[in-house]
């Protein structure tokens, strides 16, 4: 009789796939809140609809599209109405000429990122990305890629420099970048991205027509640049990057529409066709009514009004947290914060590794600090270790998507209390 417990009952890939650390921490917090504990959950990169509601006009357009009976399959690459609307919007907002056939619609950014990896990376080929960054480690694992994680530092706002990347691009299949960056809320400057683009162009010139190095540029937060920070992108800086750049974007973050699931990619037509073929087999298209509603909304003045209102709400919350942590720092507490430039995140340092709790627990790693914050501050944040950094990192991501303004003083007071509980 065989011993079924001696070997996995699923594939090796499934057996060794690591779950999301962010979802695990958020799940622990939600379970404790369900038991009556008061915890401010600043973990998930999502929005509370009670704080950030879907724009009323967009909701009306979605309901209208359902009322029109648009409930059958959409085309695999997206409804023509939305691809045409996006072609116009991309030209107006970024000055980039991408026709409807160079645009691919899917159910949010995630399947598009997966399809980009799948379309240009062979098993064993090199994928280069910075840490911290969101989910690249998991996508590289799913593709059996040779992942090269390039550590960054707060000195450069946790963004990779050309010098950081230079030793790793020879022979690589994909360079994955994001700006504004999840988890840090920081953005590339023109000069930083220009130098990286030049590296990619130099590498592809050396390949002399062989399979190129592609740049996947995740700009899902590009509408949420803060304090008038400019959004920069590869092809606008270096037009020669056009054959090698795969953009990923969507309305999930810009409209607090994470559950609506409308994302898009645009780039070289041959790559977009292959990505569409991959997603056609997966069935990862956005619902047809939401696509039609998005196309109509993009063409209305109400769209830009909604963006501006959403951005102002995020800006207000990010600055309130920044000010609160700066006050803690000025009061002598071991904290630091990097001013946010975009997205819905703030990079916060809690320099308490090696300290001991009142219960005698040594804070030895990021997980210990996370647990201490939940227990003593009533605050949940995500350590950068969840984004590929060392388990002993003391940097954290704070997400403002659930924040009512009256929460901010309570969060800062909780952090102060957690520090005061240490010896």
- Tokens standing for 399? 């997400």
Q: Please give the pLDDT value at position 6.
A: 63
pLDDT of the residue at 325: 97
Q: How many residues does the chain have?
A: 423
Q: Domain ranges in the chain?
A: 4-52+305-420, 56-300
Query: What is 56-300's CATH number?
Result: 3.40.640.10
Does the pLDDT value for residue 3 go beyond 80?
no
Q: What is the pLDDT of residue 39?
A: 87
Band the pLDDT of 358: cuts 50, 70, 90. confident
Query: Shortest CA distance to 26 belongs to which of 397, 409, 319?
Result: 397
Q: Is residue 7 over pLDDT 80?
A: no
Instruction: Categorize the per-residue pLDDT at 1 as very low, low, confident or very high, splitting at 50, 70 and 90.
Output: very low
Q: Among all chains, which residue has been given the structure tokens 């057996």?
A: 15
**How does pLDDT run across 193-240, given as a tens digit for each residue?**
999 999 999 999 999 889 999 999 999 999 999 987 899 999 999 999
pLDDT one-digit tens code per residue, 157-169? 999 999 999 999 9
Higher pLDDT, residue 255 or 227:
255
pLDDT at 4 over 60: no
Please check whether residue 117 is in contact with residue 143, taking contact to mean a CB–CB distance below 8 angstroms. yes
Instruction: Encode pLDDT of 294-345 as tens digits.
Output: 999 999 999 999 999 999 999 999 999 999 999 999 999 999 999 999 999 9
Does the pLDDT value for residue 108 go beyond 80?
A: yes
79 to each of 103, 106, 199, how far by Cα in Å? 10, 10, 36
Strand partners, 128: 148, 175
Asked if 70 contacts 296 with a C-beta cutoff of 8 angstroms, the reply is no
CA distance linking residue 17 with residue 141, whole number of Å: 8
- If you average pLDDT over every residue of the chain, what do you get? 94
* pLDDT > 90 fraction of the chain, expressed in percent and rounded: 87
What letter does residue 356 receive in the DSSP assignment?
Answer: B
* CA 247 – CA 265 distance, rounded (Å): 5
Contact 242, 200 (CB under 8 A): no
CATH number, domain 4-52+305-420, options 3.90.1150.10, 3.30.70.990, 3.90.580.10, 2.40.30.170: 3.90.1150.10
């Amino acid at each position: 009789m065989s011993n079924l417990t001696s070997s996995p009952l699923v594939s090796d890939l499934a057996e060794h796939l690591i779950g999301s650390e962010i979802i695990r921490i958020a799940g622990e917090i939600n379970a404790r809140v369900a038991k009556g504990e008061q915890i401010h959950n600043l973990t998930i990169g999502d929005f509370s609809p009670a704080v950030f509601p879907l724009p009323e006009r967009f909701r009306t357009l979605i309901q209208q599209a359902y009322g029109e009976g648009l409930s059958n399959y959409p085309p695999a690459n997206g409804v023509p109405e939305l691809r045409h609307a996006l072609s116009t919007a991309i030209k107006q907002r970024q000055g980039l000429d991408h026709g409807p056939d160079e645009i691919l619609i899917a159910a949010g950014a995630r399947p598009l990122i997966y399809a980009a990896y799948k379309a240009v990376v062979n098993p064993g080929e090199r994928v280069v990305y910075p840490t911290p960054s969101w989910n690249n480690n998991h996508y590289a694992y799913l593709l059996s890629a040779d992942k090269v994680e390039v550590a960054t530092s707060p000195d450069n706002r946790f963004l990779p420099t050309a010098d950081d990347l230079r030793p790793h691009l020879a022979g690589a299949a994909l360079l994955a970048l994001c700006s504004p960056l999840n988890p840090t809320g920081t953005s590339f400057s023109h000069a930083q991205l220009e130098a990286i683009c030049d590296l990619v162009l130099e590498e592809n010139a050396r390949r002399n027509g062989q399979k190129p190095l592609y740049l996947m540029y995740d700009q899902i937060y590009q509408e949420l640049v803060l304090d008038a920070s400019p959004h920069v992108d590869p092809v606008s800086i270096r037009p020669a990057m056009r054959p090698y750049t795969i953009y990923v974007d969507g309305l999930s973050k810009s409209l607090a529409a994470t559950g609506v699931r409308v994302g898009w990619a645009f780039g070289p037509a041959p790559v977009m066709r292959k990505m569409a073929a991959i997603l056609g087999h997966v069935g990862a298209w956005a619902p047809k009514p939401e696509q039609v509603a998005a196309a109509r909304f993009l063409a209305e003045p109400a769209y830009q009004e909604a963006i501006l209102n959403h951005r102002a709400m995020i800006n207000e919350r990010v600055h309130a947290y920044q000010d609160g942590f700066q006050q803690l720092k000025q009061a002598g507490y071991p904290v630091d914060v990097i001013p946010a430039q975009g997205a819905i995140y703030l990079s916060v340092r809690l320099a308490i590794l090696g300290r001991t709790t009142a219960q005698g627990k040594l804070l030895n790693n990021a997980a210990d600090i996370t647990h201490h914050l939940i227990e003593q501050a009533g605050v949940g944040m995500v350590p950068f270790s969840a984004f590929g950094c060392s388990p002993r990192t003391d940097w954290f991501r704070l997400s403002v998507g659930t924040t009512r303004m009256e929460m901010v003083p309570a969060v800062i007071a909780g952090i102060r209390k957690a520090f005061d509980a240490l010896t």
